[in-house]
Amino acid sequence: MELPDWFKIKGYYHISPQTSGSWKDYSKIEAKLKSKEFVANYAFYPLLHTIIDERKFKKIPNETSKRAHSFVDENGVIKKNVKKRPLHYANHFDALIMAYYAEKLQEKYDEQLKKNLELDKSVTAYRKIPVDDTPDKNKGNIHFAKEVFDEIKMRVCDSGDTIVMAFDIKSFFSTLNHGFLYKKWAELINEKDLPADHLNVFKAATKFSFIYKNDLKRLGKGPQRKYDEKRLAEIRNKNGFRAYFESPKDFRTSVKKGEIHIFQNNFKNEAGEQVGIPQGLPISALLANLYLLDFDKTIIQKLVDQKRCYYRRYSDDIIVICSPEQTELVNQVVTEEMKRQEVIISTEKTEVFRFQNTNTGISVFKKSGEEWIKNQPLNYLGFEFYGTKTLIKSTNISKFYRRMIYAVKNKSKLALKIAEKEGDKPILFKRQLYRIYRNVDLDHHSAKKNFLRFEKRDTGEFQMISDKSKKKPSGNYFTYAERAAEIMDEPAIIKQVRNEKKIFNQALDKYFHSKRKK
């Protein structure tokens, strides 16, 4: 018998230690969480706040078509295209409480969706949806993207012309209205007001407090902002657990001394009211879906049932497929219904595509102002759809090759440094390095062992991962490409990664062989 999904133990450092993950711990914790009185009176710790820098391959200002990760502005200053994404994550026991309630709410949420077949098919993010021919496996972004692309092909085949509209919600998680979310939560559990235990969890996700992770570096000694590794080691050796503080008292003392500052939820709307929920909590994804339940139902009714449109929503990414004549109606309905939910569609990110039958097959055009530009693919869940072929998003492939070059550069630098120190000939084991870079994940390359890292999926969402695991990695980017090619029935995807050895050898020549000769 396996432990339930909500009892997932993370190995990251936080204010207090994680549990052992044993059946004994599970039994004790479950007994506490089943006590509504215990949860109602539980005092949640502050969240840890960190910021992830996402490099963006965006258009260069004042350039018509060029894109880059950085550019030189009009003053000659180098600017990087980086989006800063704030993330918060909960103390270990707090996370278990949120995960426990998220699982209970998820069951009721799924019951609501299953009352309508179209609604159940339309909401895809953060849910376990079995693969049709393999019920013991769940669908992922590859399956969801393929379903959308297949629908486009079918509609073009039937009518010869179809429109795809891609909407994006502006700052989704950080703008959710607390009063509206409270109402939807209460309705889901058939209550007028939230019971005390649910209310406490609701407050932990909305009226949350937090501390900056970087502030913990102030606890270290010396002028440099680094963690006090000696102190962390002493806590590990003395108490047998990994945490930033030895005890709750130790944490409170640090706060009283002014070493650590506690802040309150700083997401505000234009009226200065507190809004939003943090990304990174075990309950955040469920609450985001719940928040848009009424929106989903309305879109199904007004556009799918009445107008025979096709609708899919993956978190804040919305796709509607319709006829050219329905374009204005779809835009109006989606925009107005979003306003009812007190969230805003990012009009500058709304994209409109037209797929048509031509002599060479299905052609795709992207609307830009009043013009339609040919061969601009639909980007969806990490894939590019051209009508006649599907590819992994080009920026993701570029990121993979950058990670590969990064691995070669680092290992070469280390080998040369050791050789210089020992006065010997630098040695680099090519096969070993080849295996290392093949297992470099797109977002894990700089993660330190036993510390929290955030894994960004191709869809853009983040998942907390700890390196403290005895499990072997389930695969790498090559197995992902192979799986995508098989599911999509698209050989062109495999061709995207066939330059791996060439780029690997070029990086090896640049960072190792050429420097070794000097």
pLDDT in tens, 271-296: 889 999 998 899 999 999 999 999 99
CA distance 422 to 440: 29
- pLDDT(451) > 90: no
Q: Which of 351, 382, 413 is the last residue of a domain?
A: 382
| 448 and 335 within one domain | no
| 291 and 177 within one domain | yes
Q: How many CB atoms are closer than 10 A to CB 261? A: 12
354 phi/psi in degrees, rounded to 5: -125, 125
| 136 and 161 within one domain | yes
In this prediction, residue 507 carries a pLDDT of: 86
Cβ-count burial of 158 within 10 angstroms (0-12 exposed, 13-18 middle, 19+ buried)?
A: exposed
| 364 and 286 within one domain | yes
| 509 and 404 within one domain | yes
Q: Which of 230-239, 246-255, 439-448 has the highest mean pLDDT?
A: 246-255
| 477 and 368 within one domain | no
Q: Which position has the token pair 């680092």?
A: 410
Q: Which position has the token pair 């330190």?
A: 448
Q: Which residue range(s) make up the domain with 478?
A: 396-517
Residue length of the chain: 518
* Domain presence at residue 486: yes
144 phi/psi in degrees, rounded to 5: -65, -40
Q: Which of 58-62, 215-219, 386-390, 507-511 has the highest mean pLDDT?
A: 386-390
Instruction: Name the least confident of 96-110, 258-272, 393-407.
Output: 393-407
Instruction: Report the number of distinct structural domains present in the chain.
Output: 3
Instruction: Name the least confident of 356-370, 399-413, 486-500.
Output: 399-413
The pLDDT tens digits of the residues spanning 11-57 come to 788 988 888 778 888 999 999 999 999 999 999 999 999 887 666 55
| 446 and 313 within one domain | no
Helix H or strand E encompassing 477: helix 477-488
In this prediction, residue 68 carries a pLDDT of: 59
Rg (CA), the chain: 25
| 446 and 302 within one domain | no
| 500 and 406 within one domain | yes
Instruction: Name the least confident of 171-175, 220-224, 422-426, 497-501.
Output: 220-224
| 339 and 402 within one domain | no
- C-alpha angle 13-239-34 in degrees, rounded to nearest 5: 65
CATH number of the CATH domain containing 163: 3.30.70
| 155 and 127 within one domain | yes
Q: How many CB atoms are closer than 10 A to CB 421? A: 8
- Helix, strand, coil percent content, the chain, rounded in steps of 5: 45, 20, 35
Residue 174's pLDDT band (cuts 50, 70, 90): very high
Return the amino acid letter for 202. Answer: F
Instruction: Name the least confident of 130-144, 153-167, 282-296.
Output: 130-144
**Would you call 111 helix, strand, or coil by DSSP?**
helix
CA distance 343 to 179: 13
Strand pairing partners for 352? Answer: 165
* Domain presence at residue 14: no
- DSSP letters for 408-476: HHHHHHHHHHHHHHHTS-----HHHHHHHHHT--TTTTTPPTTSEEEEEPTTS-EEEEES---SPP---
Helix axes 178-188, 284-291, angle to 10 degrees: 90
- pLDDT(470) > 50: no
In this prediction, residue 210 carries a pLDDT of: 95
Residue 382's pLDDT band (cuts 50, 70, 90): very high
CA distance 343 to 313: 15
